[in-house]
Amino acid sequence: MSELKVSEKDVVVPGEVIAEGMDFLPSSGTYRLGERILANRLGIIRIEGKVIKLIPLGGKYCPKKNDVIIGKVKDINFSGWMIDTSSAYHAMLSLKDATTDYVRKGADLTKYFNIGDYLVTQITNVTSQNLIDLTMKAPGLRKLRNGRIININPYKVPRVIGKQGSMVTMIKKATNCQIIVGQNGVIWLQGTPEGEILAVETIKKIEKESHMQGLTDRIQKYLDDNKLKNVNTEEERPQHHEEKYAKSEKVNEDDL
Amino acid sequence: MTYKKRFDGREYDETRKIEVKAGVIKRADGSAMFKIGNTVAYAAVYGPRELYPRFMQDPEKGILRCNYNMMPFSGSGERVRPGPSRRAKEISMVTEKALLPVVDLGDFPNAVVDVFIELPQTDAGTRCAGICAASIALADAGIQMKDMVSAVSVGKVDDKLVVDLNYEEEAYEEGPVADIPIAMIPSTGELTLLQMDGEIKKDELLKAFEIGKKTLLRINEIQKKALKEKFKLEVE
């Protein structure tokens, strides 16, 4: 006689009874205590047949292999860079994973990445002690110049990206911004000042309302209501030349 | 036998008015406010994050670090020397030990979760209010935990068993007073905090636990509701 105590997509808190009886199976974020299944953390309930799953609503980013993240250079040592991943641990980017150049022993590594630079980078390995290795050797991985950085809850990243990138594409089109979303909840955007502001507002709205129904429609409406006056989506955007921006490097940090 | 009615007119097993709010400190990873009568506790949780100095790191699991502080103006208004007192250090430690059985930091070796508890206004029962606030804040921060700990003080004033003593009752002079703060894991009924100031008979103590446990289950419901409220607000 198993019985569910909550319904699909309900918000549950730690220690809340989700189901009673042995017919259900606890999965990630839940545990069994005697006959009952209880929530292990704050999240939303998903029921897949017999399996009860909990999608976390918040928390720090948990590094995973092959994730593309945006990190900040925190320190430089002889053989590479220490990167802040905005998780509980920092990551190491070793020299041989960063460049194909021949670099002499003891050379100045700041000419590649300096302290404070933001990088789009990929996680290659995470050990049991959460030592993280990174690489820059994959398409799309680069140092970020100009634009602005915002931080969001990493568990909302899939909602900001949308199905096959539908959501982020929608924002890009409406605001004429370039946007890179890191799996760790760090987002880089670049465009006109107005476009950037609208994009930031939209992303914050998604972050706030993502656990509710009809998100895409609401965001589409929000973007239509706040349409930029002279966005010409037909217009060819200037190509991104790294040399061109190298001198006026500026990164705005807006992490509130 | 002179204590016939409680000073503030409550029933013997009635707590003071409780008000709870989650997510009050935006900058923190998780936060909560817990107000019980005239006692107000704020808790903010940061982390899991890197832990330094290095000798404090535990390679097997993350550690929990609690910090309890009564603000200088919170009590009678007497001058308080800044910095942690002997009392504050002890309460920080018992808070940590009350919360540790529920939090699971096995996924965060070498890391730390910091819990800061501040009390801007106090009228007895601060450690209990602090623990209640801290467990909501920890859940709000998305930390893995088996359950939310609830805490309340029980005790005896003169010959009456009461819950949630206020300062007036704690300082009652016409008869014996026992003040027993307890914290419980509601799903299992285990106690994680048990201290006592004063004296009480064994059978009375056991009876006080029974009343306390009932109260704690009610407080737990309030805690859960407050945390869910945060996500309802965001809907509108």
CA distance A173 to chain B (A): 26
Locate the chain A residue with the closest alpha carbon to B45: A59
* 3-state SS, residue B103: strand
pLDDT of residue A242: 41
Residue range B4-26: mean pLDDT, rounded: 94
- What's the pLDDT at A229? 64
Identify the bridge partners of residue A17 per DSSP, sorted by sequence position: A38
Contact A15 B142 (CB under 8 A): no
d(CA A159, CA A218): 13
A3-56 and A68-144 share one CATH topology?
Answer: yes
Nearest CA-CA partner of B180 in B153, B160, B161, B198: B153
Average pLDDT over residues B195-209: 95
- CB-closest option in B48, B148, B235 to A15: B148
Tokens of B170: 């704690």
Alpha-carbon distance of A3 to B31, in angstroms, equals 33
Q: Let me know if domain A68-144 sits in CATH 2.40.50.140.
A: yes
CB contact under 8 A, A88 and B187: no
Q: How confident is the model at residue B78 (pLDDT cuts 50, 70, 90)?
A: confident
- Written as six digits, the tokens of B46 are 């940061």
Stretch B215-223: mean pLDDT: 97
Which member of B104, B142, B186 has the closest CB to residue A42?
B142
- The domains of chain B are located at 18-235
Determine if residue B151 is left, alpha or beta; phi over 0 gives left, psi from -120 to 50 gives alpha, anything else beta.
beta
Contacts of A15 in chain B (CB under 8 A): 102, 145-148, 185-187, 220, 224
Strand B63-70 to B111-121 pairing: parallel
Nearest CA in chain A to B185: A15
Q: Pick out chain A residues at pLDDT < 70.
A: 1, 229-256
Calculate how close chain A gets to B8, using CA atoms only, in Å. 33
Chain A residues with at least one Cβ partner in B under 8 Å: 11, 13-17, 31, 33, 36, 38, 40-42, 56-60, 62, 88-90, 128-130, 155, 208-209, 211-212, 256
Nearest to B148 among A13, A88, A208 (CB): A13
**Assigned CATH for B18-235:** 3.30.230.70
Q: For residues B150 and B139, give the distance between their C-alpha atoms in angstroms, rounded to a whole number.
A: 13
Cis amide linkage into residue B82, ω under 30° from 0? no
H or E element, residue B19: strand B18-22
What is the band of B158 on the pLDDT scale with cuts at 50, 70, 90? very high
Q: How far apart are CA A98 and CA B119, in angstroms?
A: 49
At residue A254, the pLDDT reads 38
Instruction: Name the strands in the sheet holding A30-33, side by side, starting at the edge strand that comes first in the sequence.
Output: A3-4, A17-20, A36-39, A30-33
Query: Does the pLDDT at position B1 exceed 80?
Result: no
* Identity of the residue in B26, B48, B139 whose CB atom sits nearest the CB atom of A88: B48
Taking CB atoms and an 8 Å limit, are A208 and B234 in contact across chains?
yes
Angstrom distance (rounded) from CA B164 to CA B153: 5
Fold for the domain defined by A148-254: Ribosomal Protein S8; Chain: A, domain 1 (3.30.1370)
Residues of B in contact with A128 (CB under 8 A): 109
Sign of CA dihedral B119, B122, B127, B130: negative
Global ipTM = 0.89
Q: Which amino acid appears at position A97 of this protein?
A: D
| R_g of chain B computed on alpha carbons | 18
| Cβ neighbours of B139 in A, within 8 Å | 13-14, 41-42
> How far is it, in rounded angstroms, from Cα A231 to Cα B59?
53
CB contact under 8 A, A57 and B142: yes
Q: Taking a C-beta distance cutoff of 8 angstroms, is the pair B138, B145 a contact? A: yes
- Nearest-Cα distance to chain A for B165, in Å, is 27
- Distance in angstroms (rounded) separating the CA atoms of residues B48 and A128: 16
CA distance B98 to chain A (A): 16
pLDDT tens-digit map of A58-113: 899 999 999 999 999 999 998 899 999 999 999 999 999 999 999 888 889 999 99
* A117/A144 Cα distance (integer angstroms): 7
Cα distance from B204 to chain A (closest Cα, Å)? 30
Whether the predicted pLDDT of B105 surpasses 50: yes
Q: Which residues of B touch A59 (CB under 8 A)?
A: 29, 141-143
Minimal CA–CA distance to B152: which of B174, B179, B183, B187? Answer: B183
Are A15 and B147 in contact (CB < 8 Å)? yes
CB contact at 8 A, B212 and B226: no
Domain ranges in chain A are: 3-56, 68-144, 148-254
**Residue B232 binned pLDDT confidence (cut-offs 50, 70, 90):** confident
Q: What is the pLDDT of residue A256?
A: 33
What count of CB pairs under 8 Å joins A to B? 92
Instruction: Please list every residue in chain B whose beta carbon sits closer than 8 Å to the beta carbon of residue A38.
Output: 146-147, 187
| DSSP assignment string, chain A | --EESS-TT-EE-TT-EEEESTTSEE-TTEEEETTEEEE-SSEEEEEETTEEEEEE-S--B---TT-EEEEEEEEEETTEEEEE-SBSSEEEEEHHHH-SS---TT--GGGT--TT-EEEEEEEEE-TT--EEEE--STT--EE-SSEEEE--GGGHHHHH-GGGHHHHHHHHHHT-EEEE-TTSEEEEES-HHHHHHHHHHHHHHHHHTTSS-HHHHHHHHHHHT--TT--TTSPPPP--HHHHSTT---EEE--
For the domain A3-56, what is the CATH code? 2.40.50.100
Which is more confidently placed, B103 or A58?
B103
**CA dist list (Å): B221 to B5, B14, B26, B180:** 28, 15, 24, 22
**Distance between CA atoms of residues B42 and B126, nearest Å:** 11
CA distance A143 to A120: 6
